[in-house]
């Protein structure tokens, strides 16, 4: 899977209505030690991120996280812009900075910034 597909798989985990589907998508995109940090939370592993996503989905049912624009990458680091939308309205925009494992096949950290 190429980097853009990997990022899109990660974003799809935020959008999946079922917890099992979110877990499957994150397992495909994240290393076992992956961390997630944004202004509201630090998730020390994928299980903590799954719990955070569940809370966000409870607060914003039907919201979607969509990558916008191209993924830019170099030296096992990438960034991409995203939008969180609900019923066609933009709730929030931001940018995520991710690091990749040495093979480039899994995300090892995600740091999100809100616009």
* Band of residue 99 on the pLDDT scale cut at 50, 70, 90: very high
Euclidean distance between CA atoms 5 and 78, whole angstroms:
13
Q: What is the mean pLDDT of residues 70-76?
A: 97
Which architecture does CATH list for 3-114? Roll (3.10)
19 Cβ neighbours under 8 A, 6+ residues apart: 50, 54
Q: Is 4 left (phi over 0), alpha (psi -120 to 50) or beta?
A: alpha
**pTM to 2 decimal places:** 0.95
């Amino acid at each position: 899977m190429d980097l853009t597909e990997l990022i899109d798989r990660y974003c799809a985990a935020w959008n999946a209505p079922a917890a099992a589907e979110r877990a499957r998508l994150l397992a495909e995109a994240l290393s076992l030690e992956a961390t997630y940090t944004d202004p509201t939370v630090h998730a020390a592993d994928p299980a903590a991120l799954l719990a955070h996503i569940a809370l966000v989905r409870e607060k914003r049912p039907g919201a979607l996280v969509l990558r916008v624009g191209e993924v830019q990458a170099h030296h096992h680091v990438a960034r991409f812009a995203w939008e969180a939308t609900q019923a066609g309205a933009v709730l929030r925009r931001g940018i995520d900075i991710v690091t990749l494992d040495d093979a480039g096949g899994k995300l090892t950290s995600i740091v999100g910034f809100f616009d």
